[in-house]
Amino acid sequence: MAFALPLAIGATLAGAGIQAYGAYQSGRAQSAQAQYQAAYAQQLAGAYGIRGAQMQAAGYQQAADVGYRTAADVARTTVGAGARGVAIGTGSTAGIIASQYALGQLGERRTIANAGERAYGEYLRGTEETAKAGLETAAAGQYRIAGDIGAIGDIVSGVGKAASMAGGAQSVDSKWYS
């Protein structure tokens, strides 16, 4: 039985070492996961930025299309009035043409504004992902530190248990508690 105490102390120290290594590796794994999430969020932020720019460009193209349709409407009105022998630059024909231009410009502005609103939503999502990436990066550093602290705690705890088993820990007299 003389070998039981050293064996128990050795097993306690080995267990503490294994537990410490597990805490250390857990911190490293959690840190790697957070770094991956940060990189993914950065990629998403870039994609949202590109998507926002594409939406804005598409809006300008759609506004140009509205302008082309307006020009075609004005041309039909002008040609039709001219074919009927109506004066184009005066009277109600001039008013109709002016109204067509005004409605076309309004349509272009609305198209650009709607596209800008959609693009802003994408830019905002990109900003959110950038912020998330920053938080994940900070968490990655904290996970590493937590793993290191956990490992040190496991070692100290194991040494304390082993010392207690060996009789190294003495009881404290109750007079010291008051």
Structure tokens given for 146: 């937590």
User: Is 162 domain-assigned?
Assistant: no
User: How many structural domains does the chain have?
Assistant: 1
pLDDT at site 166: 76
Q: Which domain holds residue 79?
A: 37-132
User: Measured between alpha carbons, how far is 106 from 155 in angstroms, rounded to an integer?
Assistant: 73
Q: Provide the mean pLDDT of the chain.
A: 91
C-alpha–C-alpha distance, residues 145 and 30, integer Å: 11
Tens digits of per-residue pLDDT, 47-80? Answer: 999 999 999 999 999 999 999 999 999 999 999 9
64, part of any domain: yes
Residue 6 inside a domain? The answer is: no
Judge if pTM exceeds 0.85. no
Which region among 90-104, 111-125, 154-168 has the lowest average model confidence (pLDDT)?
154-168
Summarised one tens digit per residue, pLDDT across range 128-176 is: 999 999 999 999 999 999 999 999 999 999 998 888 887 755 555 667 6
Note whether residue 157 is domain-resident. no
Question: Which pLDDT does position 7 carry in this prediction?
Answer: 85
- Tokens describing residue 115: 């596209």
CA 170 to CA 178: how far, in whole Å?
A: 18
| 175 is a domain residue | no
